[in-house]
C-alpha cells in the first residue's frame, strides 16, 4: 500500500488546494433496496493495483459496466478526488481507514445496503461492521482487503526473535531502526504505550487526549536519535534492509515478502502488544452517476475469486473467508503467507487505521484530530 | 514594442502566476474544519501565528542554513571551474566541459538523487573507494551531510553557467592592463576578476538558494531524522493532513526570505548577469 507517492500527490494536492473543495452533499439519499440494470459505466478512485485487468475484464463482460479507474497517490488525494467540485465525478472509492471517516463526515459517501452484497455474510466478523466504515450502526462501505503493520527484523542480527515493540524504542538498536514517515505512525507508539504504561489510560490508539498525545510525542522524541530513517516509500525500506544498515523496523507484509524473495534474511511478526493495520473499503459516492454498476462492482469484488486474485497481486489479506482456498489454488501456500486463514481473534487483535477526530466518542470532544497529529509528527521529526 | 503587443503575455503572466500567489496568500487566512477537512472561510491569523511555534523556527533556520551552505559550496566549486573553461581550456575542451556541466540536467531529478543514495549507502561506492585507499568507512547516508552533498551536486550547473557568462565578459585587455600596472596573478584575481565575477556569482546564488529553499524530495530521500525543511512541512500539511491553509501560510516564509535575498542580490548587480 503506497500511501505516499510524492510527485503525484504534490501535483494533485496543489490542484486540489486551488480548487477549494466545495460543500453541498445531499444527506437525504435513500438507501437502495435492490440493484437495477447497470448504466454501462463505472468510475472509480482506487489504489494502484486494485483495478487490474485479470479481475476487471470478467466483471465488464458479465455486467456491461465499463470500468475507468483513477489511481490515487495518498489517502488525502482520495479524499480530495471524492469531494472536489462537489463530488459525483467518481462512483466508488477504495478508501483506507484513515480517509473513510473523513469521507463519511464530509457527506461524500452514501449509506450502503449490505443486504445487496451476497458475499458479505462470508466476511470475517471483524470486517462486517468495522468502526472505520460503519458509524452508528449504518454501513458506509464494504470491506475489501487489509494488512497489518508488522515488526520486521533481520534474522542474522537478531538470532533471538524480538517479541515486543520495545525493540524499536531501545537504545541497543540505535541507528538500525526504520519506521514509516507518516503521522498515523503515532498510533503505533500509542498502542505500545497503552500496554507498557497503562497509567496513561490509552484505550484506543486513535483516540488520544492532549495529555496522552504529549506522552506519545515524548516517547517518539526519545526514539528519534535511534532512527536510521523515517521511510516514505516501501522501496526505501527495502533498500535500507538490503544494503542501508537497517536491521529492525515497522513494516508491511509487502516489504517482508519482497525482501524474502531477494534472499535477505528477514522475518516479521505481530508483537505481544498487538499491531496497527490498514483496511480498505469500497464506498459509494453520495452523488454517484452509476449506482447500479457501483453495487454490481461491490457484489463482484467481494467474491472469493477476485478477492484471492487481488490479495495475491497486491500482497494483502482478503476479508472473505472463502478466498483462502482459491488463493492456494492460484499460488500454493499464499493463503497462509498472507494470514488469510487465521482465527477471528487474530483479526480482532489488529487496530485498524482510522482518522483521528476531535469527537472520539467519549462525549467530551477533546481528542486530538489529524491536524494535531500532523503537527506533532513534524515536531517529532524536528 | 508597444504596450498592445506585449499586453497579452503580460496578462497571462499576471493571471496565472500572480493570481495563484494571491490565492495562496488569501488561503493562509482561512482554516479547515477538523471534522470534515473542508476549508472554512473565516478570516483569522492563527496560521501565520503558528509559524512561530516550535518546531517551525528551527526548520526555517535549518533550511536557510542549508541553502546558504549549498550556495557557498557551489560558488567555491564553480568559480575555478568556470575560470578554467573561460581562460585555460581550448575551444574544443570548453564545449566538452559545458556539455558535461549541463548533461546531468538531462537526467531525471529523481534518478540523480537515487544514484547518490547508492553512492552514500554504508556498502556503497563511497565506502568502497575509501577502503580502497585504506581509509575507514564514512557513514553519512541519511544525514544532513548527505543532503548538503546532493543539493550541491544537483544545483551546481545553475551556478556554473552564470559565473561562466560573467567571466567570459571580462575583456582580455583588462587583464593585460592589470599586468602592465604591475599586478601579479593573485592581485589581478582579487582586484579585477573577482569583482567583475560578483554579478555572476550573485545570479547563480539566486538559483541555488531558492531551489534549495523549496525542495522537499531530497530531504525525504537522502535526509535522515531531523532533516525536515520548509518544503517538507508544506508537503506534509498539503499532502497528508489536508491542511491547505497552514501550508499556504507556511509557503509565504520562503517567499519572504527570497524577496529579502533578491533585494540583497540586486545591490550586487545580479540582475545584469541573468
Query: Which of A250, A242, A271 lies closest to A161, judged by CA?
Result: A271
Query: Which of B28, B68, B71 lies closest to B46, judged by CA?
Result: B28
**Are A5 and A73 in contact, with CB atoms under 8 Å apart?**
yes
CA end-to-end distance (rounded Å), chain B: 22
- The pLDDT > 90 percentage for chain A reads 64
Q: What is the DSSP letter of A267?
A: E
**Are A140 and A112 in contact, with CB atoms under 8 Å apart?**
yes
Phi and psi angles of residue B122, each rounded to the nearest 5 degrees, phi first: -50, -40
Q: In this predicted model, what pLDDT tens digit does every residue of A69-117 receive, in sequence order? A: 998 877 888 888 898 777 789 999 999 988 898 899 888 999 999 999 9
Least CB–CB distance from A382: residue in B27, B55, B247: B55
Query: What per-residue confidence (pLDDT) applies to B122?
Result: 82
Query: What per-residue confidence (pLDDT) applies to A28?
Result: 43
Query: What per-residue confidence (pLDDT) applies to B13?
Result: 83
Query: Which of B242, B40, B35, B244 lies closest to A101, judged by CA?
Result: B35
Least CB–CB distance from B39: residue in A20, A357, A378: A20
- What is the value of pTM for the model shown? 0.78
Grid coordinates standing for B17? 502566476
Which of 215-274 (B) contact A at CB < 8 A? 216-217, 220-221, 224-228, 233, 235-244, 246-248
Whether the per-residue pLDDT at B4 is higher than 80: the answer is: no
Of A32 and A13, the one with more pLDDT: A32
Residue from A221, A229, A380 whose CB has the most chain B CBs within 10 Å, to mutate: A229
Scan for cell 475484464, then name that residue. A57
- Hey, how many other C-beta atoms are within 10 angstroms of the C-beta on B60? 20
Query: What per-residue confidence (pLDDT) applies to A13?
Result: 42
Verify whether the Cβ–Cβ distance A17 to B244 is below 8 Å. yes
A131 vs A123: CA distance, rounded Å: 15
Grid coordinates standing for A251? 513494516
Q: Which helix (H) or strand (E) holds A292?
A: helix A291-301
**Mean pLDDT value of segment B234-239:** 83
Query: What per-residue confidence (pLDDT) applies to A21?
Result: 36
Query: What per-residue confidence (pLDDT) applies to B36?
Result: 67
Query: What per-residue confidence (pLDDT) applies to A69?
Result: 93
- The pLDDT > 70 percentage for chain A reads 92
**Mean pLDDT value of segment A167-172:** 96
Whether the per-residue pLDDT at A23 is higher than 70: the answer is: no
Q: What is the DSSP letter of A123?
A: B
**Are A277 and A353 in contact, with CB atoms under 8 Å apart?**
yes
**Mean pLDDT value of segment A232-241:** 87
Q: What is the DSSP letter of A22?
A: P
Residues of chain B within CATH 1.10.3720.10 domain(s) are: 53-272
Least CB–CB distance from A183: residue in B141, B226, B241: B241
**Mean pLDDT value of segment B13-39:** 82
Scan for cell 472469493, then name that residue. A304
Which of 55-94 (B) contact A at CB < 8 A? 55-56, 58-59
- Go through the domains of chain A in sequence order and give each one's CATH number: 6-145+278-342 (3.40.190.10), 148-276+359-381 (3.40.190.10)
Verify whether the Cβ–Cβ distance B34 to A358 is below 8 Å. yes
Q: Which residues of B touch A14 (CB under 8 A)?
A: 238
**Are A279 and A353 in contact, with CB atoms under 8 Å apart?**
yes
Q: Which residues of A touch B123 (CB under 8 A)?
A: 243
The confidence band for A19, taking pLDDT boundaries of 50, 70 and 90, is very low
ipTM tops 0.85: no
Q: In this predicted model, what pLDDT tens digit does every residue of A338-352 receive, in sequence order? A: 888 888 888 888 999
Please give the CATH topology (third level) of the domain spanning B53-272.
MetI-like fold (1.10.3720)
Instruction: Work out how many CB contacts closer than 8 A connect A with B.
Output: 129
Tallying the residues shown for chain A, one arrives at: 382
What is the average pLDDT value for chain A, to the nearest integer? 88
**Are A81 and A58 in contact, with CB atoms under 8 Å apart?**
no
Q: Which residues of A touch B240 (CB under 8 A)?
A: 4, 74, 76, 182-183, 374
Residue from A7, A12, A13, A377 whose CB has the most chain B CBs within 10 Å, to mutate: A13
The 3 state secondary structure assigned to chain B is CCHHHHHHHHHHHHHHHHHHHHHHHHHCCCEECCCCCCEECCCCCHHHHHCCCCCHHHHHHHHHHHHHHHHHHHHHHHHHHHHHHHHHCCHHHHHHHHHHHHHHHHCCHHHHHHHHHHHHCCCCHHHHHHHHCCCCCCCCCCCHHHHHHHHHHHHHHHHHHHHHHHHHCCCHHHHHHHHHCCCCHHHHHHHHHHHHHHHHHHHHHHHHHHHHHHCCHHHHHHCCCCCCCHHHHHHHHHHHCCCHHHHHHHHHHHHHHHHHHHHHHHHCCHHHCC
Whether the per-residue pLDDT at B5 is higher than 80: the answer is: no
Scan for cell 525536515, then name that residue. B228
What is the average pLDDT value for chain B, to the nearest integer? 89
Grid coordinates standing for B11? 496578462
Cis status of the peptide bond prior to B256, with omega within 30 of 0:
no
Query: Which of A78, A275, A240 lies closest to A153, judged by CA?
Result: A240
The confidence band for A10, taking pLDDT boundaries of 50, 70 and 90, is very low
Query: Which of A231, A218, A228 lies closest to A379, judged by CA?
Result: A218
Chain B nearest C-alpha distance from A308 (Å)? 30
Whether the per-residue pLDDT at A272 is higher than 80: the answer is: yes
Which of 123-182 (B) contact A at CB < 8 A? 123-124, 139, 141-142
Q: In this predicted model, what pLDDT tens digit does every residue of A31-53 receive, in sequence order? A: 888 898 999 999 999 998 899 99
Q: In this predicted model, what pLDDT tens digit does every residue of B36-74 receive, in sequence order? A: 667 788 888 889 998 998 889 999 999 999 999 999 999
Q: In this predicted model, what pLDDT tens digit does every residue of A244-260 receive, in sequence order? A: 789 999 998 888 988 99
Q: In this predicted model, what pLDDT tens digit does every residue of B134-186 receive, in sequence order? A: 988 888 888 999 999 999 999 999 999 999 999 999 998 998 899 899 888 88
Query: What per-residue confidence (pLDDT) applies to B20?
Result: 86
Phi and psi angles of residue A45, each rounded to the nearest 5 degrees, phi first: -110, 120
Query: What per-residue confidence (pLDDT) applies to A26?
Result: 36
Chain A nearest C-alpha distance from B60 (Å)? 11
Query: What per-residue confidence (pLDDT) applies to B272?
Result: 67
Amino acid at each position: 500500500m503506497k500511501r505516499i507517492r510524492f510527485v503525484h500527490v504534490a501535483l494533485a494536492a496543489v490542484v486540489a488546494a486551488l480548487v477549494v473543495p466545495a460543500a453541498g452533499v445531499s444527506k437525504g439519499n435513500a438507501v437502495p433496496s435492490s440493484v437495477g440494470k447497470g448504466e454501462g459505466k463505472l468510475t472509480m478512485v482506487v489504489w494502484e493495483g486494485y483495478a487490474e485487468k485479470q479481475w476487471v475484464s470478467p466483471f465488464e463482460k458479465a455486467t456491461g459496466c465499463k470500468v475507468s479507474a483513477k489511481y490515487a497517490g495518498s489517502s488525502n488525494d482520495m479524499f480530495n478526488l471524492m469531494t472536489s467540485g462537489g463530488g459525483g465525478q467518481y462512483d466508488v472509492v477504495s478508501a483506507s481507514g484513515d480517509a473513510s471517516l473523513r469521507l463519511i463526515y464530509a457527506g461524500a459517501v452514501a449509506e450502503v445496503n449490505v443486504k445487496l452484497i451476497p458475499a458479505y455474510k462470508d466476511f470475517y466478523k471483524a470486517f462486517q461492521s468495522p468502526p472505520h466504515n460503519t458509524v452508528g450502526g449504518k454501513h458506509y462501505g464494504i470491506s475489501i482487503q487489509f494488512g497489518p503493520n508488522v515488526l520486521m527484523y533481520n534474522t542474522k542480527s537478531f538470532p533471538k526473535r524480538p517479541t515486543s515493540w520495545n525493540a524499536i524504542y531501545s537504545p541497543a538498536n540505535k541507528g538500525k531502526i526504520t519506521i514509516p514517515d507518516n503521522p498515523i505512525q503515532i498510533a503505533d507508539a500509542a498502542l505500545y504505550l497503552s500496554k507498557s504504561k497503562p497509567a496513561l489510560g490509552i484505550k484506543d490508539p486513535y483516540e488520544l487526549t492532549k495529555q496522552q498525545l504529549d506522552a506519545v510525542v515524548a516517547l517518539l522524541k526519545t526514539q528519534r536519535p535511534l532512527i536510521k530513517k523515517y521511510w516514505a516509500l516501501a522501496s526505501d525500506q527495502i533498500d535500507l534492509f538490503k544494503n542501508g544498515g537497517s536491521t529492525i523496523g515497522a513494516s508491511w507484509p509487502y516489504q517482508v515478502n519482497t525482501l524474502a524473495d531477494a534472499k535477505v534474511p528477514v522475518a516479521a511478526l505481530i508483537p505481544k502488544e498487538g499491531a496497527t493495520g490498514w483496511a480498505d473499503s469500497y464506498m459509494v459516492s453520495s452523488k454517484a452517476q452509476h449506482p447500479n454498476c457501483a453495487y454490481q462492482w461491490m457484489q463482484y469484488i467481494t467474491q472469493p475469486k477476485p478477492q484471492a486474485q487481488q490479495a495475491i497481486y497486491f500482497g494483502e489479506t482478503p476479508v472473505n473467508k472463502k478466498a483462502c482456498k482459491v488463493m492456494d489454488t492460484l499460488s500454493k501456500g499464499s493463503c497462509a503467507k498472507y494470514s488469510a486463514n487465521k482465527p477471528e481473534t487474530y483479526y480482532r487483535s489488529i487496530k485498524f487505521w482510522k482518522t483521528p477526530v476531535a469527537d472520539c466518542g467519549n462525549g467530551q470532544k477533546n481528542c486530538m484530530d489529524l491536524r494535531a497529529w500532523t503537527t506533532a509528527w513534524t515536531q517529532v521529526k524536528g | 514594442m508597444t504596450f498592445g503587443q506585449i499586453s497579452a503575455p503580460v496578462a497571462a503572466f499576471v493571471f496565472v502566476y500572480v493570481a495563484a500567489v494571491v490565492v495562496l496568500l488569501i488561503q493562509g487566512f482561512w482554516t479547515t474544519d477538523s471534522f470534515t477537512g473542508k476549508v472554512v472561510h473565516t478570516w483569522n491569523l492563527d496560521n501565520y501565528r503558528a509559524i512561530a511555534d516550535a518546531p517551525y523556527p528551527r526548520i526555517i533556520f535549518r533550511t536557510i542554513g542549508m541553502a546558504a551552505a549549498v550556495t557557498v559550496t557551489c560558488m567555491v566549486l564553480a568559480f575555478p571551474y568556470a575560470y578554467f573553461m573561460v581562460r585555460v581550456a581550448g575551444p574544443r575542451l570548453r564545449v566538452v566541459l559545458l556539455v558535461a556541466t549541463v548533461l546531468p540536467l538531462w537526467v531525471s531529478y529523481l534518478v540523480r538523487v537515487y544514484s547518490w543514495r547508492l553512492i552514500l549507502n554504508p556498502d556503497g561506492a563511497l565506502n568502497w573507494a575509501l577502503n580502497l585507499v585504506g581509509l575507514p568507512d564514512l557513514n553519512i547516508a541519511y544525514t544532513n551531510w548527505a543532503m548538503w552533498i546532493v543539493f550541491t551536486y544537483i544545483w551546481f550547473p545553475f551556478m556554473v553557467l552564470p559565473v561562466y557568462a560573467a567571466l567570459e565578459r571580462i575583456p582580455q585587455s583588462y587583464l593585460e592592463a592589470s599586468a602592465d600596472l604591475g599586478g601579479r596573478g593573485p592581485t589581478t584575481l582579487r582586484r579585477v576578476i573577482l569583482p567583475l565575477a560578483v554579478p555572476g556569482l550573485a545570479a547563480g546564488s539566486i538559483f541555488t538558494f531558492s531551489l534549495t529553499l523549496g525542495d522537499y524530495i531530497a530531504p525525504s530521500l537522502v535526509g535522515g531524522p531531523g532533516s525536515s525543511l520548509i518544503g517538507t512541512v508544506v508537503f506534509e500539511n498539503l499532502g497528508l493532513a489536508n491542511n491547505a491553509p497552514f501550508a499556504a501560510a507556511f509557503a509565504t516564509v520562503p517567499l519572504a526570505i527570497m524577496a529579502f535575498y533578491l533585494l540583497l542580490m540586486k545591490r550586487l548587480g545580479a540582475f545584469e548577469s541573468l
